Structure 1
Amino acid sequence: MDTRHFGLTGKEYEHRLDEVGITVNKNTIPNDPEKPFVTSGIRVGTPAVTTRGFREPEMAEIARWMGLMAKEDYADHAEQVRAEVAELCKRFPLYQE
């Protein structure tokens, strides 16, 4: 996903999302103007979400959170997003007890 339209590097966006419990990795995009350790994009992996059993509604929530964390005022949303991510993960644990 190209992060330039947010005014972010892949590295910056990866860090913001990691702060709230959403794991992505910075990734180069075609003709990337940034260095490989910075990048202009991220990769969103789906194995963890499919393993948990997330469907379209949960993915829409993740997309909404990602959008909030891309905004300039992301710090104002971070605590709430972190709590909502934790609640979603609690509802869909990796391992059944």
Structure 2
Amino acid sequence: MKIKYCKKYEKYVSQQHCEFFNNGLDCEFYNHAYWNSIKDLSEDENRPKWEVNAVIKPYHCNLLDREYLNERNRRRRLYRKSSGIQI
């Protein structure tokens, strides 16, 4: 998981989080530096000094609008129901 630093939240976020919710590379708060893992991040002495283990990941983020996620789940349930997929 690639990790980026987001100036908007002043936290570390996964690259996937930025791509989904913050316009990816076009995001004005995006820092172009990235780390390949939390281990790489914690070893980098020049990193912004925020909590390393508090990486915001997609779908585990209290900054997101819950209605967005609920809508995705509703669509998924309707698809499964209409196609007869059993869980």
Give the alignment's TM-score, normalised by structure 1: 0.25
Q: Which structure features the higher share of strand residues? A: 2
Q: Which has the larger radius of gyration?
A: 2
Q: Which structure features the higher share of helix residues? A: 1
